[in-house]
Structure formats: structure tokens, C-alpha cells
Amino acid sequence: MVKLALEFKADLENVTDLRPADDNADWYFKDTSDISGSRGSANLVMRCKFCKRESSAQFEVTPTKPYTAEDSGQFAKMIVIECRGLEPVDFKPEGAWAARGAETNTQFQDIDLTEDDWADYDEKAELPVGITEIESRFTKA
């Protein structure tokens, strides 16, 4: 068993607290599957079609840590995954994300990061807002 942390990095312009818009974000595994021969469950269970070995991944139940303006430009841990027999190698921020204005707390919902950047305008602060230079990596937790 290996615990891996998903670390996220982006440049935030006049926004903070970037996070998935809800607990069922696309990068979470939504369904729980039983592990054969076990009383446990996992978010992902895969079986190798050649050797028939099962591998699984389970997200820790701690809440997702929002990516803040203070984190901007640096890698910061968002979630931890317990992996048995597999290792994730890539992450794409799919689905709806949310953030708030750094100065005004204006809520920005339904942020689409699939193009690796996002831009809008905070009318209260009269400033452009944006998210660019998105990167991710997995490290041992």
C-alpha cells in the first residue's frame, strides 16, 4: 500500500480558494466498488486482463484542500490517495471548479479548467481574474 498526494500548481490572478465545485467532482471516483475476497471497498478497482491481479485506489476522507492565492505558482497538496497495486500518473482538472475573488469574495462557479486556463472579470473589484499555467504531480504522502 502506498499513499500518494495529488499536488496542484497554477498561477492565480485575483482569485483564491480554487477547488472542485462540489464533492462529486469528475476527478473523484463517484462509485464505490467491492474488492473481491475482502470486506473493504475502494473508489477504483481494476483487474489486469493478463495476470488477473486486482489493484485498487481509495481517496482519504479528509476534505479537499482549496488552492489559495498564497499557494499561487507553487505545488500544494489537494488530496491523498491510498493505492494498492497501481500508481496514477496524470491528472486533468475536469468538471466544474469554483473560486472566489481575492479582494471581494465574489463567488466564481462553474469554472472550466479543461483548456488549462480560465479568465473572467470581477466587477466588484474592477479587476480581471484568471487561472493559468496549471500543473499537477503525485508525490508520496
pLDDT at 42 over 70: no
Domain limits at 99? Answer: 2-140
Quote the pLDDT of residue 44.
61
Is the pTM value of this prediction over 0.85? no
Sign of CA dihedral 103, 106, 112, 118: negative
Quote the pLDDT of residue 27.
52
What is the pLDDT confidence band of residue 7, given thresholds at 50, 70 and 90? Answer: very high
How many residues are given for the chain?
Answer: 141
- Report how many domains make up the chain: 1
pLDDT at 32 over 60: no
Quote the pLDDT of residue 134.
94
Contacts of 36-44 with C-beta under 8 Å, sequence gap 24+, read 42/84, 44/86
What is the pLDDT confidence band of residue 28, given thresholds at 50, 70 and 90? Answer: very low
Contacts of 105-114 with C-beta under 8 Å, sequence gap 24+, read 108/15, 109/21, 110/21, 111/18, 111/21
Closest CA to 128 of 20, 11, 19, 9: 11
Choose the weakest-confidence range: 14-23, 42-51, 59-68: 42-51
Beta bridge partners, 81, equal 4, 59
Read off the C-alpha cell for 13: 490572478
Q: What is the percent of the chain with per-residue pLDDT over 70, rounded to a whole number? A: 80
Over residues 92-99, mean pLDDT? 88
pLDDT at 67 over 90: yes
